[in-house]
Each structure stands twice: as C-alpha cells, then as structure tokens.
Amino acid sequence: MAEQYSYSKLNQFERCPQQYKFHYIEHVPIERHVTIELFTGDVLHRVLEKLYEARMLGKVLTKEETLALYDTEWEGAPMSTLKVSGDIMKAGDFVKHGRSALENYYDTYQPFDSGKTIAVEQKVDFTIDEARGLKMTGRIDRLVRREDGTVEIIDYKYTRGIPKRQELERNPQLGLYQTALYQLAAKENWPDFGDVHIRMIYLRQGEEFSARLEPDVLDEIREQTLQRILAIRRAKRDDDFQPSPGPICAWCQYVEICPAKRHELMVNDELTADEEAKRGQELAERYLVLAQEEKIAKSAKDAIKEQILNSARNLKVTRLSGIRGSIGITDKEEAEFPSRTKDRDAELAISSAVKEADFDLFELYANLNLRELYKAYDREQLPEALREKLSQFVTSKHTVVLRTKYNKPAGDDD
C-alpha cells in the first residue's frame, strides 16, 4: 500500500522529529489547542469556500452576506481553547483583523468573475515516487479556469509575514513550496489542463503573487519532497526521532512528556521533582561549572602559548623550564601535501607525476601508499627531477606543539 504524506506532516518532522513521533507514530492523545491566528485563517478559508460555491451556482453574495457568514463562524468558535500569542492583542482584535481582511478581499475581487471557479477545497493525491509507492495528499483552496484557457491554483494565506517578491522570484521553493506541490498534483490529476499557474493570495496584507513554475523547478521540488520523505522513513527505520527544542516548545502540547523538556519543568516546579530529578539538577550544575572553567582555562592557555613561543625564540631554546617541570617546544615549517579526502584531483595528479617520472617509484609509493611517498619527499630520498615535480603540490604548514613534562615529586625516585 502506498505511504501517504502531507505538507504539514513534512513540516512537523522538520520542526521537531520527536513531536512528529508523538503525533503520527505514537498517536499520544492530547487536548488540541489551536492558535487564534490559525483559527482565523481557517474561518476565512471556510467563508471564501462558501462565497465561491455560491458563485459557481451563479450567485454573487453581497458584502453583508459574506461578513454575516464570517460572524456566524465566530459565534460557534471554541474561544476558551484558542491560544492567543503575545500580550498586546486580545482575542477580539484577531477577530476584527480577520473581518477587515475579508472586507478588503471582497472589495478587491468582487464580483469574483476573473476566471471561472471550477472547484473549491479540492482534495488531491499525487505521486512523489512511483517505485517506492510514496504519495502526497493535500487540498487546493480554489481552481480557476482563466479566459485564455489556462488553469490557476489559488492558495489563500493568512500568515503574519510574506516573503519578499524578489526572494520568491529568485527561489520559488522559499514561499511557494506548498502551492508548487499543487502544481505537481494538477499535472497528475488533470493531465488535460495544459498550462497551470499558481497564485498565492495573502489575505492579511492584501497582496498576491503569481507564478508558473518551469518543469525543471517542479522536478527539483519533487526531489526535495522525496528527500524529506526519505528522512522520515530513515527516522522510522532507526527509531531515531531526536527532539529539537526551541521557541516552538512554548506551543508544544507534548512538552510534559518530552525527554528534552521534562527535567526542565521539574526544576522549575512545573512538574513534581523526585530525588533523582534533584540529583540530576546538581550534577548538571557541577558539570556546567567545570565546563565553563575548562573554557576559561583553554583561552588563557592559548593566550600564553604565543608568549611562550616568542620567549623560546628570543632565548633560542626549545625547552622552557619552570619550577614544577618544563615545556618542550616544537616550532617548525613543514611541507604539506594535499589530503586524499579533501583534494582527490590533486592526489591523482601526484600519482601520474610519479608514474611519468619513475614507474618503479610509482609502483613503490604512489600506487600503494602516498603517505610513504610524502615521507620520502620530506627526507629528500627522491630523485631531484621528481622532487621538483612534486614541489608544485606542496604547501608550507607552520606547526607549533607544546609538550609539558612535570618533575617527579621529591622522594618519588625509584
């Protein structure tokens, strides 16, 4: 059976894999709290659905009728369960803002005859990878056939911010990702549609953005989606859903059972703390202090290292003695060859230089063990012509090493 994913599933996994696990794998029962902004967006979607359903039947709802639909939606709203973010705006402000966004929409688009609406809230399933049986599912807000025969996918957004137009044009995946997926869906579900465009209408800001994504961009989006799905599959296979704590935890309804947040709640007296929880807090505190001291000591050591080096150079010595021991100083320029992992091309060039200059040496070193070849270069054991060839690959590396040696405590002699 095909595995089915949705835009919100992919997003939740990327925001926090642990939250995805609680939600989609363990189905942990929770009392769902919806933010008032999300709810306002849903209300607007429902009103616009009714507005265009009526339009499809040839009726244009008046502005008063449309706003009445909005008010009715709020009359039945579960206000006590809606989460209001921030302290400045109250629930009533969000309701008013949504209403004025709807008024603005009505004034801008009435009598709603730019193109013929052919479907509203259309559910679509579409394939991301046939061979692996991976599908996506989603809902298109509105489908419109324009006068020139092209089809438009309309997506309403009720977000706080909108990506800059230049950003969207430069990188359509940025803000268009979800809508672009619907262009893929349209291609599969209605192959006779011909040209398909997408239009995002930002209800809050009264702005819109239209685009027609080229096949190569759609291929990229399909590939990107496949990779996101495969990441979820790998997490399932390895049962590896790491928590990703951050600002979203403030809204997470699994916080009390989350392994990355539970102890913090205990320490802050928001959950009952037992003896083990208190011990955990003490240990964490001790470790944090030690780690901080270690960091301070490391930067003090780094600062004195340079001074030690200068002092040894001035004294022309390779060891500085203190009372409790001494420090041996290595301060030299070394030849460095490109590393095998970082520069494969340079490594191949070195091999062919050796092969060309001396096949026996190639057999001896380059074909088998470049490290030995580099040592031989360093020890000046290679023929001059080959040394010269290799010198073009060599860079110089300054190495400084300090080695400490402590005196044996008195009376500790064997």
Contact residues for ligand SF4, defined by CB under 6 A: 16, 18-19, 243-245, 248-249, 252, 254-255, 258, 260-261
Tell the smallest beta-carbon distance from residue 98 to ligand SF4 (Å). 27
> What is the token pair recorded at 207?
């702005």
CB 14 → ligand SF4: shortest distance, Å? 12
Angle value at C-alpha 241, between 239 and 243, nearest 5 degrees: 150
**Of 14 and 334, which has the nearer Cβ to ligand SF4?**
14
Cis? peptide before 172, omega within 30° of 0: no
Q: How many CB atoms lie within 10 A of CB 398?
A: 9
Q: Considering the complex, state which of residue 140 and residue 255 has its C-beta at the smaller distance from ligand SF4.
A: 255
Sequence-separated contacts (24+) of 194-199 with Cβ below 8 Å: 194/149, 194/150, 194/151, 195/149, 195/150, 195/151, 196/150, 196/151, 196/152, 196/153, 197/146, 197/150, 197/151, 197/152, 197/153, 198/152, 198/153, 198/155, 199/152, 199/153, 199/154, 199/155
Pick the closer one to ligand SF4 by CB: 16 or 120. 16
What is the closest distance, in whole angstroms, from the C-beta atom of residue 267 to ligand SF4 in the complex? 15
User: How far is residue 160's CA from residue 203's CA, in Å, rounded to a whole number?
Assistant: 10
Rounded CA-CA distance 47/70 in Å is 6
Report in angstroms how near the CB of residue 254 gets to ligand SF4 at its nearest.
5
Q: How far is the CB of 390 from ligand SF4 (least distance, A)?
A: 53
Q: Which is nearer to ligand SF4, 6 or 244 (CB)?
A: 244
Element (H, E) at 152: strand 151-157
Q: Shortest distance, CB of residue 262 to ligand SF4, whole angstroms?
A: 9
Cβ closer to ligand SF4: 104 or 244?
244
Closer Cβ to ligand SF4, 14 or 388, answer by number:
14
How far apart, in whole angstroms, are the C-alpha atoms of residue 406 and residue 105?
79
CB of 12 to ligand SF4, least distance (A): 9
Residues 6+ apart with CB under 8 A from 111: 60
How far is Cα 188 from Cα 245, in angstroms, rounded to an integer?
A: 38
Taking the least distance from each CB to ligand SF4, the nearer of 23 and 199 is 23
Q: How far is it, in rounded angstroms, from Cα 199 to Cα 179?
A: 8
Rank residues 252 and 370 by Cβ distance to ligand SF4 and give the closer one: 252
CB of 30 to ligand SF4, least distance (A): 11
